Amino acid sequence: MRRVGRPPRVHTPIMMVVAYDAWRAHGTLRKAAAQLQLSHERVRQLVGQAVSNGLVPPLPPKDTVRPLNPFCDRATTMHLLRQYGTTVAISRLTGCSITRLRARLAEYGLRNRQLVALYRDYRKRIVAKRRYDAFVTNHGGAHPTTTELQRSAEGRNLDAFIRRHWRSTLAFRRAHRIRVHTPAFNAPMGRAA
């Protein structure tokens, strides 16, 4: 006789199908095992038995389950690292594991020194401009002078960040063609409503 709240006997075909469905629904053996009150190893065995007995369709190969490798060649790898900065950011974006990405980087001969240089370049080009644009938007919409940047704690922090990565605020402005006291964003001409 079956106890209330407990799944059917572990060796029955019904339990094999239940274990398979729980594993497919939860995505991991541990979550399925917690739901079924079994060990994850027993759930794995039941899923294997269900497949071998023909009760459920065969499991898809691991390659179809794994996300595509974003680092398909060296040029794409360099482009992604320049665009997103770190393997962690690329992993979050693509769902590919960090271990797999690092193995691919080693395969292409990219070492930590090169990755750090790419990350610094990313911080220089993308993060500095993003922070500058946010500051300008929050403080009137016109490009501030260095003196105006120094008036607030946020501005001093931004100026120090720009100087750290660009060596000077002037170099940053030249690279982005920024003219002081001009509107940051082109507003449409015409009458205000």
167-181 residue pLDDT tens: 888 888 888 888 888
- Same domain for 130 and 95, yes or no, is no
Query: 190 falls in which pLDDT band (50, 70, 90)?
Result: very low
The pLDDT of residue 93 is above 80: no
Q: Which helix (H) or strand (E) holds 20?
A: helix 13-26
Highest mean pLDDT (candidates 71-85, 142-156, 170-184): 142-156
Structural domain of residue 32, as residue ranges? 13-59
Please state, rounded to an integer, the average pLDDT across all residues of the chain.
79
Query: 188 falls in which pLDDT band (50, 70, 90)?
Result: very low
In sign, the C-alpha dihedral spanning 119, 121, 122, 124 is positive
- Same domain for 53 and 17, yes or no, is yes
Percent of the chain's residues with pLDDT above 90 = 4
In sign, the C-alpha dihedral spanning 159, 160, 162, 167 is positive
Query: From residue 150, how far is each of 27, 125, 158, 190 by CA, in Å?
Result: 52, 22, 9, 34
Q: What does the block give as tokens for 23?
A: 């594993």
Q: What is the arithmetic mean of pLDDT over 129-134?
A: 89
115-119, 145-149, 177-181: range with lowest mean pLDDT:
115-119
CB 123 within 8 A of CB 164: no
- Closest listed residue to residue 34, CA positions, set 17, 45, 22, 47: 22
Q: What is the arithmetic mean of pLDDT over 50-57?
A: 84
Q: Which residue has the tokens 């644009």?
A: 133
The confidence score (pLDDT) of residue 68 equals: 60
Q: What is the arithmetic mean of pLDDT over 1-28?
A: 72
- Residue 51, in any domain of the structure: yes
| Residue at a domain's end among 24, 41, 59 | 59
- Residue 163, in any domain of the structure: yes
Q: Mapping DSSP to helix (H, G, I), strand (E, B) and coil, where does residue 81 land?
A: helix
Number of domains composing the chain: 3
Q: Which residue has the tokens 């001093």?
A: 156
30-34, 102-106, 130-134, 185-189: range with lowest mean pLDDT:
185-189
- Same domain for 22 and 75, yes or no, is no
The confidence score (pLDDT) of residue 60 equals: 64
Q: What is the arithmetic mean of pLDDT over 78-87?
A: 78
Neighbours of 8 (CB within 10 A): 13
- Same domain for 93 and 129, yes or no, is no
Q: What does the block give as tokens for 104?
A: 């691919």
Q: What is the arithmetic mean of pLDDT over 9-17?
A: 76
The confidence score (pLDDT) of residue 156 equals: 92
- Same domain for 135 and 171, yes or no, is yes
